Amino acid sequence: MFKKSLNLEETRLSIVSDIKLDFLREFVISKREELKNYISNHHTFFNSHRPVYIDDEKIDIVRIMAEAGEIANVGPMASVAGTISGLAVEELIKNSSKFSIVNNGGDISFINKDRKVVCGIYSGNSSLSAELGLEFKPQKSVIGLCTSSGTVGYSFSYGRSDSVSVVANKSSVADAIATAIANDVKGDEDSEAVENGLNTALRFEDHIIGVLIVLGDSIATFGKLPKLVSLKKGDSLEFKDDTIV
């Protein structure tokens, strides 16, 4: 198994794969440059918190982000981390990978045809943080698992969730929808805030597999999430034999 970390400005990738990863750095750089060049001439694409509609865009990273933003009714930059993860996994598959995981700061895309994957969920100051994981059985299709938070990280959120994790067939869509749901996890009481988040999740049931919301000591799920498993407090969320990330 091959492992690699790539730190390219805002992009922080942790990668594990059954194939060599030497080519991936240049691929990610090229996608970032395409996006940066587009943004330099289309400032709204970068700044908007609402969908930005584009016509016949041939740059794949721009098109994918715009489509994800339109689905989730958020700005396209809400899906940038998940989109890069997804594109990287697709490139690994093109190079004959049957098992690859790309984790971009908690926004994950993976293919796991021959082994299970367990992904730990980091939820800030919640007592449940790093104690819960999602166990994915081997499968033939790519999966996206992306997490948004109102209390952790630098990304903007209108809500106050400790974590909203979305599982979908595309990590770009999972990332954008996680942002949309997290934006609505708000209310005076935790139970009210979580319920508001679940109501928003209902709107996206055609685009997602499942949702996990954590706020304080409260937890809520929606859809067909994989098996929830317990992790030992203090476990280092790194790649291990059964691939905990």
Query: pLDDT per residue over 7-47, tens digit each?
Result: 998 899 999 999 999 999 999 999 999 999 999 999 999 99
CB-based contact 196:187 (threshold 8 Å): yes
Residues 6+ apart with CB under 8 A from 241: none
Please give the pLDDT value at position 128. 62
Share the mean pLDDT of the chain: 88
Distance CA 32, CA 104 (A): 13
Of 70, 105, 100, 106, the residue nearest 88 (C-alpha): 100
Question: In the block, which residue shows the tokens 């209902």?
Answer: 202
Kindly indicate the confidence band of residue 191, based on its pLDDT and cuts at 50, 70 and 90: confident
CB-based contact 29:8 (threshold 8 Å): yes
Rounded mean pLDDT, 179-190:
90
Distance CA 53, CA 38 (A): 14
Structure tokens at 145: 């698992």
Task: State what percent of residues in the chain have pLDDT above 90.
Answer: 68
Whether the per-residue pLDDT at 220 is higher than 70: the answer is: yes
Domain ranges of the chain: 2-230
How much is the pTM?
A: 0.90
DSSP for 161-211? -SEEEEEES-HHHHHHHHHHHHHT---SSHHHHHHHHHHHHHTTTTT-SEE
Please give the pLDDT value at position 12. 92
What is the gyration radius of the CA atoms in the chain, in angstroms? 17
Distance CA 65, CA 53 (A): 10
Please give the pLDDT value at position 72. 97
Please give the pLDDT value at position 110. 97
Residues 6+ apart with CB under 8 A from 15: 3, 4, 5, 6, 21, 24, 88, 100, 101, 102, 103
CATH architecture of 2-230: Roll (3.10)
Query: pLDDT per residue over 65-107, tens digit each?
Result: 999 999 999 999 999 999 999 999 999 999 999 999 999 988 9
Whether the per-residue pLDDT at 151 is higher than 80: the answer is: no
